[in-house]
Homo-oligomer: A and B are copies of this chain.
């Protein structure tokens, strides 16, 4: 079934203990789309500037990602982010942010995308995320990402959003900030009290926890010896998760579990190199093989 993502495309400059990359293709919608493209076709809505190279668009299209909702802002510049990771690389230090055309992004969903049943609202303002929902008429499963900035600056809009989505994806620090609970099980329960049917708390190198009212599923990170660049790991996780669900058309608990495992495994590939480089060398059979390894290393 069709999967729609609305989010950012960016040029990322990243420094980690393993090297440096300048102006590489990044952004939440990019990582999400590529990850999801292992499972299904993707409809992408975003905005870039005139500096966005044609080859990036071609790359996305080669993955069966429909870029007809990717607007080029005349005279505009693409979103740029510069960051640095040190030590355990669990959190990025942001060195520079230039929102550019993404700062005034008002997503318009093309008419042919408004019937998308599976929707991922990548990190963005809750107000913008709500505007997307209004344009999507045949929603089956809507999942949103958020961040500390929105928890602080748009708490009411975020609460409104939480009543209208099926799932929320956020990291451990954000879950603690949103709920005031240090313990993640308690934090997860409080998120559920705010509306969504499920919440996924991402814990960086420690993996993720899926929680609904009925079920909890802990997904440790796939053990990776060479974490080169974690940028986009969370969005790739979400892409694997939603991609699997959209491909199967399922929204039952077993599907959520398998989707969480796929998200974990897809993200484990992404972090093994800068930008999308590791994805470019990985095909679906690599992912399925690692999924089976992951299954066996969890079994006892």
Contact = CB atoms under 8 A, between A and B. Distances in A.
Interface of A: 17, 87-89, 182-186, 189, 203, 205-207, 209, 215-221, 223-227, 254, 257-258, 260-261, 295, 297-300
Given A185-B224, A206-B220, 9 more contacts: A17-B182, A209-B223, A215-B297, A218-B220, A218-B297, A218-B298, A254-B300, A257-B299, A298-B299
A6 B225 CA distance: 34
Contacts of A218: 207, 220-221, 223, 297-298
Contacts of A182: 17, 87-89
Contacts of A185: 223-225
B183 A225 contact: yes
Nearest to A203: B206
A183, A186, A216, A260: residue with the most chain B Cβ atoms closer than 10 Å: A183
Contacts of A254: 300
Given A182-B88, A206-B206, A300 B223 contact: no
A184 B207 CA distance: 13
A123 B186 CA distance: 32
A189 B203 CA distance: 23
Contact of A295 (B183, B207, B300): B300
B225 A260 contact: no
Nearest to A255: B300
Nearest to A257: B300
A185, A216, A300: residue with the most chain B Cβ atoms closer than 10 Å: A300
Contacts of A88: 182
12 contacts: A183-B224, A183-B225, A184-B205, A189-B225, A203-B206, A206-B207, A207-B218, A218-B220, A219-B220, A220-B220, A254-B300, A261-B300
